[in-house]
Amino acid sequence: MVYARYFFTRLGGFFLTVFIAFTVAFFVPRLVPGNPLGSVFNNLAEVGGNVNAPELIAEYERIFGLDRPVFEQYVSFLREFARGNLGYSISNFPSNVSDLIAQALPWTIGLLTVTTIVSWVLGSIIGAVVGWMGKRAGVFRAIGPVALILYTTPYYILAIILIFLFVFQFDIFPIPRGAYSRGATPAFTLEFILDVVRHSLLPALSIVLVSLGWWFLSMRSLITSLRGEDYILNAEAKGLRERRILWGYAFRNALLPQMTGLAISLGHIVGGALVTEVVFAYPGIGWLIFNSISSLDFPVIQGSVLIIILSVAFANFLLDLAYPLIDPRIRR
């Protein structure tokens, strides 16, 4: 019963967060000055179309709902979104927004999932070991200053540094022009998979290094502060092995605030990853949003941002549900 009340409270917060974020995502792009149909008319002009025909302009405005008041567009947008319809892209008409997102989303999910898990797990484990060893860590204590430098470095700055070093100086990785080599045919073959991995290593490394620095510092601080707790001293007095005390007592209690940190910083991680995609021209949601902002493609901007909002909010919701499983006191 207690957990059910906790569940519905978090569920209500989830829907409220999503609704507010949806509203902001709808109205903010419309505050940007410019004509969203400009790219469409420019494309028509390049192929000899009559872009000054009033009937053509009126028809495009009707198709995209731009001839109606903003509030009516908002209500229509919510209604269509509830049906799973994100509309048509303005700059890539008649492509559906859902189709464009479906092409970009797997690249972002793959990149974000792997980098977030790897950085969180490695940073937490290394930070726990170094924090527990203290002065006995020796040369491993030097990881702290390095982690601090990495944590304070923006994603895109580290991405540019990695490109300069490993692409132009040492020629280890290919020039960032997508998720795989130009001319390659997507197929489930070993050659294509290795090509995709080779193109994704640098953007993944830039995200992992920055994130790992924070998780290391956070876990090291938590473990260090727990060293003097009564239950740790009691475990040591019982003669338990140091390894068991570290992982069974200290690490387990530090895991909850570490998960809280993951939930809080998830939006920051996603935002940094999207900027990294732009730097590497990686064909994910970040690259799609960048191109859509350049052409004021309202439907694609809205759809992409909403997918990100839903993903981050749902991930936070799942982490909220996992808290009581780690620490039952939260249920009360």
pLDDT digits (tens, 9 = 90+) for 279-314: 888 888 888 888 887 777 777 887 888 888 888 888
pLDDT for residue 277: 83
Two tokens, residue 187 = 């197929």
Separation of alpha carbons 186 and 275, rounded Å: 25
Q: What is the pLDDT along the chain (332 residues), one digit of tens a residue?
A: 666 777 778 888 888 888 888 888 777 777 666 556 655 565 555 555 555 555 666 666 666 666 677 777 788 777 777 777 777 777 777 778 888 888 888 888 888 888 888 889 998 998 888 888 877 766 677 788 888 888 888 888 888 888 888 888 888 888 877 777 776 777 777 888 888 888 888 888 888 888 888 888 888 888 888 887 888 888 888 888 888 888 888 888 888 788 877 777 777 777 777 888 888 888 888 888 888 877 777 778 878 888 888 888 887 787 777 777 666 666 55
User: How many C-beta atoms surround the C-beta of residue 223 within 10 A?
Assistant: 24
- DSSP H helical segments within the chain, as ranges? 2-27, 38-46, 54-63, 70-82, 97-133, 143-151, 155-163, 190-226, 230-237, 242-245, 251-279, 285-294, 298-326
Two tokens, residue 101 = 């997102």
Decide if 254 contacts 128 (C-beta within 8 A): yes
pLDDT for residue 206: 87
The residues of the chain that CATH labels 1.10.3720.10 are 97-331
Class of domain 97-331: mainly alpha
User: How many C-beta atoms surround the C-beta of residue 76 within 10 A?
Assistant: 13
Q: Which amino acid is at 16?
A: L
Question: pTM higher than 0.95, yes or no?
Answer: no
How does pLDDT run across 192-244, given as a tens digit for each residue?
A: 888 888 888 888 888 888 888 888 888 888 888 888 788 888 888 888 888 88
